Every structure is written in C-alpha cells, then in structure tokens.
Amino acid sequence: MELGECKSTFNLEKAVCNHGFFMMAPNNWIPSTKTLQRPLRLSDDTTSAVVSISHPPCHSFLLLKILLHSQFPPSSPDRHAILAQVGRMLRISERDERDVREFQKACPKAKARGFGRLFRSPSIFEDAVKSILLCNCTWSKSLQMAQALCELQFDLTNTRKGKGKRKRGKSSTPLQAEVRMGNFPTSKELASLEESYLREKYPVLGYRAKYILQLAKNVESGRVSLEEMEETMNKEPYDYERVYQELSHLNGFGPHTCANVFMCIGNYQSVPVDTETIRHIQQVHGRKTCDKKTVKKQVEEIYDKFAPFQCLAYWMELLESYEDKFGKLSELSKSSYSILSGRLTKKNNES
C-alpha cells in the first residue's frame, strides 16, 4: 500500500500506538516486529480475513499480508475493501495529511515527536461502539467488553456456518487465538439480537448492551447513518451543531462519547472531558483546583490556542504523561494493557 504524500510524516508505530483503541480487541500489536494484525472485512461485509500490516524501514509503502483466508489471492473488490479499512485506521489520506502538517506547524513539539495521527477503527460503527465502552468504567473493563464483543462475533459467524461454538482447552498459536476471538461485530450482526441474550451471555457489557443494540438497530433501519455523519464532518464548511445534536440524541452518547466519536471522525475541536482530564490538568498543568465544575473552562484556557486541533494537543500531552509513567506504549506486553491509566483504581467517569 503506497503512502503517497503521507510518506514524509508517516510512522506505523506512532500512527498505531497513540490511542487505547490499538489495545482493544480485535487489534493485535506485536512489539517485536512493529506489526499490526487484525481481521478486516472483505467486500461482502460478512467474511473477514486476518491482515498483517508492517512498514519496511525507509520505504514509502506499507506491506499488507493476508494471513488466514480461504481465497488467495483476494479478488479485486476484496483488495479495495482491505485498503480502504487500512487507510481509515491509519489516517492515510490527503485530508489527514493536511491536518497532520497544520497541527505540527501550530505545535512544533508534535512535529518533533512525530505525532499527529490518532489511531482509529476500520469503521465508524466500531469507533462509536468502542467510545461507548470507554465511559464510566475502568480501562480494564473496557478491554474486557471489546473482547467479549469479538467473541460474540466469532460465535455468530460459526453458528451461521454450522460449525458450532468455540472449542476451549485446546492449544493454539497466538495467531489462531486471535482468529478464534473473531472480528468486531457489524451493526447487521448485532441488530437481530435481544438485549436479554447479550446481557446473559456477556454480562461484562451490563447496561451498555442496550445502548449498543439500539445503535445497531437504528443504523440497520436507516434511522441513523454514521457514515453520513462522517461524510458531513469531512466536508467544508460542515454543520458541527447539527451533527452533534443528531449524535447526542442517541442513548449512550453523552458529551464524552460524542467528543470521542468526533475525534475518530477527524474533528479535533472537542476534548473528551472526564475524570482523567481532571487528573491530567491537575498533575501536568498544576491546576490543583480543577474539578468537574471548572474542567471545561480550564480545557478551553489551555488548549484553545491550538484550534482547531485542541484534542490533538491534549492527546499528545496525555500520551506523553502515560509513556513517562509506563514506558513506550508500543513496547508494552498485552498483559500490561489493563494497568494503563492515570489513576489505576479510578473510573473514567464522564463529566
């Protein structure tokens, strides 16, 4: 996959390991080889193939390998589907490159760090659901919920194929373990499920099961079009308030979740404010009086000078504080992911 005009600013390790989403299933970052593996949808939007993404040193392209898929080589439509998803995850586009350059111009520190691309999912639906999983819970639980949804998708796929349920207790390679976990479910796969089934089979989801299923059903019925929202926000000029109102009227989409979704879309004006933001401002900026009542005002005072990239400036600081405490995120083992938080015992409550 050619990087085109993104080649001078692109670094795979930095494009992936900068947002908690890269730690959430079904993503699999391999520190030893600096490779990202995960299932991606083929053109039929039903079948998945496990794809490995690496960046050969000093080259202007990414190396994509299809690791497990019955049809090889893939068809032309399947190749296009995979490339589109990789491009979205890693923000390889003219617009993303323009944003990176403009932000790094406004914030020279970002250029020195090679920061400017925030990792996201192959689809806006996955981004939206994962944003729901981030609110009002520990980071460890967010990871567990994402894994549960991928296990659900594996079971649904194999039930359709008549292969039964997952067999436990057998040894497997790390790759086989990832495949057995499944891809992240689509709205179509979720829309036919009942809340009672989801909560009983995957209790870790709790009340979020209701919000996730409502979103899936609304998308499948056409009442909500996340793709249209994304297209609208990528046009200039865009109607921020209209899209925000449309999104915030959905159950489970408070200010924090909406800001996360907007950040994934590529609108960086809104900082996702929660207790982690309060901690960050208190500790990094020395504003000990920052609390739920004042945090939004203090966020504006600190980050508005970077408009329209306030969120990127905040996230760069947050990433730096995490890496000062835990080391490079790209070098952490999977077993360390669950401890990654500014306050290990606190919930990330939406403010």
Tally: H helices and E strands in the chain? 16, 4
Task: Using CB atoms within 10 Å of the CB of residue 149, give its burial: 0 to 12 exposed, 13 to 18 middle, 19+ buried.
Answer: buried
Cα–Cα distance, 155 to 159 (Å, whole number): 6
Mean pLDDT of 100-129: 97
Q: Please, which contacts does 296-301 make with residues 24 or more away whose CB atoms are closer than 8 Å?
A: 296/351, 299/271, 299/273
Measure the CA–CA gap between 331 and 280, rounded to whole angstroms: 23
Helix (H) or strand (E) holding 175: helix 174-181
Q: Which of 114, 8, 39, 62 is nearest to 330 (CA)?
A: 114
φ, ψ of residue 268 in degrees (nearest 5):
-110, 20
- Residue 180: pLDDT above 80? no
pLDDT in the model for residue 340: 78
Please determine, for residue 172, whether its predicted confidence score (pLDDT) is greater than 60. no
Q: Which residue has the tokens 């109607």?
A: 239
- Give Cα separations from 325 to 1, 30, 85, 222, 343 (angstroms): 35, 21, 32, 45, 11
**pLDDT for the residue 169:** 41
Confidence band of 234 (pLDDT split at 50, 70, 90): confident
Do 251 and 214 meet the contact criterion of CB atoms below 8 Å apart? yes
pLDDT in tens, 271-326: 999 999 999 999 999 999 999 999 999 999 999 999 999 999 999 999 999 999 99
Instruction: Find out whether 62 and 54 touch, Cβ atoms under 8 Å.
Output: yes
pLDDT in the model for residue 321: 92
> In this structure, are residues 155 and 165 in contact, taking their beta carbons and an 8 Å threshold?
yes
**Nearest-CA neighbor of 38 among 21, 48, 26?**
26
- Asked whether 215 and 128 are in contact (CB, 8 A), the reply is yes
Q: Quote the distance between the C-alpha of residue 315 and its chain's center.
A: 14
The pLDDT value recorded for residue 167 is: 44
Torsion of CA 74, 80, 83, 85, to 10 degrees: -110
Three-state DSSP at 51 gives strand
- Looking at per-residue confidence, does 167 or 38 come out higher? 38
